[in-house]
């Protein structure tokens, strides 16, 4: 049940508890391999459209922006997604702007693709600049060694921009 027929919620709220396997290229370069994402929640019928409130939980392997190493990442994010028929889009623009805490999406056909939603939740959870550790030392700019594994053989302060500072000491 990877696509949900939203009109089922017209009768009674739809309970959702699905495990979704995302494709390797779903979520951008920082995500080396997405794991399984579990979506749990409920879709309710509103006066206009639907509301899906729930939680997305999962794991992925990310790439560190400093050392380019891969590291495991897990997340659990609550979300509230308002689904509105595209016909009401113009009137809803104000509501959308005034309720920035709600994610609003318009649909032409009353279907919700859970795999797409799971991929979006993972993308939202992934940090802008993923780091394997907050104090990741990164790679040596000269030889490319992973400085998390210890110092490389390069002389310190090899970067010429700092040479002028080497002889400088504040006078006291
Ligand atoms: Zn790193
Ligand atoms: Zn080096």
What residues does each domain of the chain span? Answer: 3-136, 138-172
pLDDT over threshold 60, residue 37: yes
What integer pLDDT is reported at residue 98 of this predicted model? Answer: 56
pLDDT over threshold 90, residue 58: yes
| Cα of 151 from ligand 2 centre, angstroms | 7
- Please list all protein residues whose beta carbon sits less than 5 angstroms from ligand 2, which is an ion: 140, 142-143, 145, 152, 154
16, 95, 96, 139 from 4: Cα distances, Å: 9, 25, 23, 46
H or E stretch covering 88? none
pLDDT-derived band at 4, boundaries 50, 70, 90: very high
User: If you average pLDDT over residues 66-71, what whole number do you get?
Assistant: 96
Give every CB contact of residue 67 below 8 A, 6+ residues apart in sequence.
132, 136, 137, 138, 139, 146, 147, 148
| Cα of 128 from ligand 2 centre, angstroms | 27
| Cα of 135 from ligand 2 centre, angstroms | 18
Rounded mean pLDDT of the chain?
Answer: 87
% of the chain residues with pLDDT over 70? 82
On whether the CB atoms of residues 102 and 78 are closer than 8 A, the answer is no
């Amino acid at each position: 049940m990877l696509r949900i027929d939203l009109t089922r919620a017209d009768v009674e709220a739809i309970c959702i508890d699905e495990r979704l396997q995302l494709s390797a290229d779903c979520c951008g370069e920082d995500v080396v391999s997405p794991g399984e994402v579990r979506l749990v929640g409920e879709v309710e019928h509103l006066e206009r459209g639907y509301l899906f409130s729930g939680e997305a939980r999962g794991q992925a392997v990310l790439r560190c922006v400093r050392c380019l190493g891969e590291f495991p990442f897990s997340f659990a994010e609550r979300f509230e997604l308002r689904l509105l028929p595209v016909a009401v889009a113009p009137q809803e623009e104000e509501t959308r702007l005034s309720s920035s805490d709600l994610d609003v999406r318009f649909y032409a056909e009353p279907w919700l693709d859970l795999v797409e939603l799971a991929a979006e939740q993972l993308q939202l959870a992934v940090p802008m600049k993923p780091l394997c550790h907050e104090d990741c030392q990164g790679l040596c700019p000269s030889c490319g060694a992973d400085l998390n594994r210890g110092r490389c053989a390069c002389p310190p302060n090899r970067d010429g921009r700092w040479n002028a500072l080497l002889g400088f000491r504040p006078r006291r």
